[in-house]
Amino acid sequence: VVIIFSIQLSFMLLTFTVSSRSTLGFSPADTVAIVFCSTHKSLTLGIPMLKIVFEGYEHLSLISVPLLIYHPAQILLGSVLVPTIRAWMSSGPKAVKLSNLQPV
Question: Does position 96 have pLDDT exceeding 60, yes or no?
Answer: no
The amino acid present at 66, given as its one-letter code, is P
pLDDT at 70: 80
* Percent composition of the chain: helix, strand, coil (DSSP 3-state, to 5): 75, 0, 25
What is the per-residue pLDDT across 67-95, written as a single tens digit (0 to 9) for each?
888 888 888 888 888 888 888 888 765 55
Q: Is residue 31 a contact partner of residue 19, using CB atoms and an 8 Å limit? A: yes
The domains of the chain are located at 2-94
Q: Is residue 4 a contact partner of residue 70, using CB atoms and an 8 Å limit? A: yes
Q: How many CA atoms lie within 13 A of 44 on its CB side?
A: 1
